[in-house]
Amino acid sequence: MKLITRDTDYALRALCFIAKEPKKMIAARKLFSELGIPYPFLRKIMQVLKHHGIVSSCKGQGGGFSLLVPTSRLYLKDIIRIFQGEFSLNECLFKKKICPGVSSCMLRRHILSWEKQLKENIESVSIESLLSETGGSFEEKKNN
């Protein structure tokens, strides 16, 4: 069970990297070589972020991406929503048919409450808070 899919994770890494070079344009090629994210996949992800107004872009030589939203107002939950849709623990179990079976009915109350708790947890995480926790260092790669 995945809370965060690969595209969300890649997007977070890319955004963290870009966030540390404000006002500079960062090319996808640069993100690829620094972060090791598969290039075409990364391209697609950046375009999605662009369409959602998270980053701005510039074509042509010297072009790339830069943050549009300040890190303090860019939340994990936003990125999750963009790549994974509205956060929900009981997706398609209660969506179409409400209460298709007794165990669902019984569990529903529990699951909704757990979901609420998880949501509140996720709400508290911003890109800024992620960066400040690690001091913005990208040194972890050397540990492999």
- The item of DNA, a copy of itself, none sharing an interface with residue 40, based on CB under 5 to 8 Å by kind, is DNA
All residues at 6 or more sequence positions from 53 whose CB lies less than 8 Å from its CB, including other chains: 68, 69
| Residue 118, Ramachandran bin (φ over 0: left; ψ between -120 and 50: alpha; else beta) | alpha
The per-residue b/e assignment along 81-91, b for 16 or more CB within 10 angstroms, e otherwise, is: ebbbeeebbee
Q: Is 117 in the site for a copy of itself (CB under 8 A)?
A: yes
Q: How far is the CB of 130 from a copy of itself (least distance, A)?
A: 4
Q: Is 97 in the site for a copy of itself (CB under 8 A)?
A: yes
- Hey, what amino acid is at 100? P
Q: Is 107 in the site for a copy of itself (CB under 8 A)?
A: yes
Q: How far is the CB of 135 from DNA (least distance, A)?
A: 26
- Tell me how far apart the terminal alpha carbons of the chain are, to the nearest angstrom: 25
DSSP 8-state assignment for residue 122:
H
- Residue number with CB closer to a copy of itself (53 or 102): 102
Q: Is 61 in the site for a copy of itself (CB under 8 A)?
A: no
CB-side neighbour CA atoms (13 Å) of 64 = 19
Query: Which residues bind to a copy of itself, rule: CB under 8 A?
Result: 1-4, 6, 9-10, 12-13, 16, 35-37, 76, 84, 87-93, 97-107, 109-111, 113-115, 117-118, 121-122, 125, 130-131, 133-134, 137-138, 140, 143-144
